[in-house]
Amino acid sequence: MATESGTSTQLRSRSTDLDAETGLEVDAALAGLDALDIPTAQRRPLAARAWAATWPKIGALALFLLLWQIVVWSGWKPTYLLPGPGKALSEFGSRLGTGHFWDALARTLVRAVEGYALAVVIGVVVGVVVSRSTILRTAVGSFITALQTMPSIVWFPLAILLFKLSESAILFVVVLGAAPSVANGVIYGVDYVPPLLVRVGRSMGARGFSLYRYIVAPAALPSVLAGLKQGWAFCWRSLMAGELLVIVPGHSSVGADLQNSRELIDTVGVMASMITIFVVGVLVDAAFNTADQQMRVRRGLIAEGTSAVRAARGGRGPGAAGGGVDPAGGSVDGTVPHQPADAGAGGADGGHAGSAG
């Protein structure tokens, strides 16, 4: 009975004059309404959006450096203990030319990526299992959150006793630090899947795995992504704590360099290492924010350009550089698939300005 040849039946129904007339009338009215409903707002040029997203960050950074310099000028501490930003930045710049810097950074990043990857696998598996079972949920749900609130540094004495001063000790703590956040992201994501969408999936015949694949997983993605982002933050913190405490002989790393500079009372070196740690944090955060922004634009949770507009109005974004990277994601990415489909929507050009209706 169901639809087979749409066009031939359509012709048949139009064979009677009356039908044809009302049909055309409905057609025209519907096409008119559709055209009115397609938003006509235009995108701002790319350069303008990029600038709007960038200048608040540059401004905040400049302000921070200025304050730092003012404190140095005030003579609060001798300059060998508290050097100005100029010295620290030039030390950071000159380190970029050394092989040692890149070796240390590479080791640190490899540790971070390994630990994070393992934490993600464990976190996702635990999250999925726990979210599916009420009993497990009651048993370990709050335990996971408790684990998350444990400062990672308190694990190190145990890790050092178990694994000595080795890569494993660092890995152990990094995974323990990051996995609970990932697991919680998955659990909350599954919790907040709208029941209506599950009903929709079931009405379309999705069951078990296919329900997860087509409905639950994508619906939970925003929360999972938040968990991944938080997991990364915990991973990076744990790793830095680990590299300060667990210095594996012969293995240079960013944390080891930092510790080394402290022992030599080389404040400029300490600051150069801290700048390295900060820059890595900012870059990874920007990558997460880009992914998050793209997802939100795709789902209509944010009107394209909104954050750039907000930035242009005065940049009340979160923290100076760390959290403030997000507008760049949505505006510069260019993946926003909203070029008008040119479907007889008279005069409607440009992307979308927000949710219609």
Partner 1 sequence: MTAVRSDTAVRIDGVSRFFGSSAARVQALDNVSLDVRSGEFLCLLGASGCGKSTLLGLIAGLDAPTTGTVDTTGRRAGMMFQDSALLPWLTAGGNIEVPLRLRGIRRAERRERVERLLAMVRLAGLADKRPHELSGGMRQRVSLARAFAQEADILCMDEPFGALDAMTRDLLHDELERIWRETGVTVIFVTHDVREAVRLGDRIVLLSSRPGRVAEIFDVDIERPRRIDSARVAELATTVTTRLREEVGRHGH
Binding site for partner 1 (CB under 8 A): 1-3, 6, 9-10, 12-13, 18-19, 22-23, 26-27, 29-31, 33-34, 37-39, 196-197, 199-200, 202-206, 210, 214-215, 218-219, 221, 295, 298-301, 337-338, 341-344, 352, 354-357
Q: How far is the CB of 342 from partner 1 (least distance, A)?
A: 7
Q: How far is the CB of 12 from partner 1 (least distance, A)?
A: 8
The residue whose two tokens read 């519907």 is 30
| Closer CB to partner 1, 178 or 228, in the complex | 228
Q: If you ran DSSP here, which 8-state letter would residue 43 be given?
A: P
Token digits of residue 305: 């350009």
- In Å, what is the CA distance from 206 to each residue of 74, 213, 329, 351? 68, 9, 34, 33
Residue 38 or 147: which CB sits closer to partner 1?
A: 38
Q: Smaller CB distance to partner 1: residue 74 or 355?
A: 355
Longest dimension (CA), the chain: 96
66 vs 356, which CB is nearer to partner 1? 356
CA–chain centroid gap for 137, Å, is 26
Using the minimum distance from each CB to partner 1, give the nearer residue, 138 or 210.
Answer: 210
Q: How far is C-alpha 22 from the geometric centre of its chain's CA atoms? A: 51
Beta carbon of residue 294, minimum distance to partner 1 (angstroms, whole number): 11
CB of 150 to partner 1, least distance (A): 34
Q: Say if residues 50 and 329 touch (Cβ distance below 8 Å).
A: no
* Alpha carbons 33 and 346: distance in angstroms, whole number: 11
Alpha helices in 74-98 (DSSP H): 85-95
Are residues 181 and 123 in contact, defined by beta-carbon separation less than 8 angstroms?
Answer: yes
Q: Is 58 helix (H, G, I), strand (E, B) or coil?
A: helix
Q: Cα–Cα distances in Å, from 34 out to 347, 348, 354?
A: 12, 10, 16
Q: Which is nearer to partner 1, 27 or 333 (CB)?
A: 27
* Six-digit token string for 344: 């007889």
Q: How far is the CB of 128 from partner 1 (least distance, A)?
A: 19
What single-letter DSSP state applies at residue 343? Answer: S
Question: CA dihedral defined by 280, 286, 291, 296, rounded to 10 degrees?
Answer: 150
CB of 136 to partner 1, least distance (A): 23
Round to whole Å and give the CA distance between 266 and 81: 8
Pair 180, 125: CB distance under 8 Å: no
Q: Which is nearer to partner 1, 32 or 93 (CB)?
A: 32
CA nearest to 119, candidates 168, 182, 169, 188: 182
Q: Residue 270 corresponds to which amino acid?
A: V
In this complex, which beta carbon is closest to partner 1, that of residue 133 or of residue 339? 339
Q: How far is the CB of 192 from partner 1 (least distance, A)?
A: 13
CA dihedral sign, ordered 326, 327, 330, 331: negative
What tokens appear for 83 in the block? 């050097």
- Residue (109 or 225) nearer to partner 1, CB: 225
Minimum CB separation of residue 339 from partner 1 in Å reads 9
State in angstroms the smallest separation of the CB of 188 from partner 1. 17
